[in-house]
Amino acid sequence: MSYSHYHEHYEILYVSNGERKLIINNHDKYTLAHGTIALIKPFILHKTESIGGSERRILVNFSKETGAEIEKFANADLLKCFDTPITELKDIHRIKEMLSELASLDRSSPFFESKFKTKLTEVLTEISETAALPFARRNGTGDIIPLVAKEIQEKYSDDISLSCLAEKFHINPCYLSRKFKKEMGITLVKYINTVRIIAAQKLFDNGCQSVT
């Protein structure tokens, strides 16, 4: 996309040939190339831009529900790796092969879901082990932030603020502010404004309304 966007699913992006620029929260910039992989959490503002125009990509996404099922089955925090947007992997060839298999699964097959979850568990385990990330279980305190982000996306045209969000989710405003910045990499106020800007960009692109 030419402008930043967000979605409710997890996204794994690998540039198998060439280079591509990843921009997170309209500020942090990374170069995706051979040996690196992008791991995008739900609700994170991001966009990618071509570098040279000849790159090939492997893209895999999955829902939060699928991620939760996989973690429960594996009894490990396999989604912890998504805390780091760009990860360098030692055995990138193995990851590339696994991602290719995952992306090429036949969605019309009655066994697609079981195959997808099995292969995805292998991919996330391999990424976590290769990147040497801890497998400690989360205590669940971070679950509130995706809910807050989703509330912002759904109510961005309303008069929303830190205080009203804190009241709605029964959480201290200062704690919410710190927690949101830590997990999303952007302040809550800037996130609200950026979501509104993205919505405006989409309206301009659709061309069904006047600028006024």
Tens of pLDDT, residues 82-96? 988 888 877 788 888
Q: Is the pLDDT of residue 52 over 80?
A: no
pLDDT at position 84, please? 84
pLDDT at position 136, please? 36
Q: What is the mean pLDDT of residues 68-75?
A: 92
Ranges of H-type helices in the chain? 64-74, 92-103, 112-130, 144-155, 162-168, 173-184, 188-206
d(CA 67, CA 79): 7
Q: Is the pLDDT of residue 133 over 60?
A: no
Q: Is the pLDDT of residue 139 over 60?
A: no
Which strand (E) or helix (H) includes residue 22?
A: strand 10-24
Q: Is the dihedral of CA 171, 175, 176, 179 positive or negative?
A: negative
Which distant-in-sequence residues (6+ apart) come within 8 Å of 104 by Cβ? none
Q: Could you count the other beta carbons within 10 Å of the beta carbon of residue 178? A: 13
pLDDT at position 135, please? 35
Identify which of 30-34, 159-163, 208-212 has the greatest average pLDDT. 159-163
Type of residue at 57 = R
pTM metric for this prediction = 0.76
Q: What does each C-alpha distance from 32 to 1, 22, 29, 45, 88 come to in angstroms?
A: 16, 7, 10, 17, 10
Phi, psi of 24 (to 5 degrees): -110, 135
Average pLDDT value over all residues in the chain: 85
pLDDT at position 131, please? 66
pLDDT at position 1, please? 55
d(CA 184, CA 44): 6
Q: Is the pLDDT of residue 186 over 60?
A: yes
pLDDT at position 134, please? 39
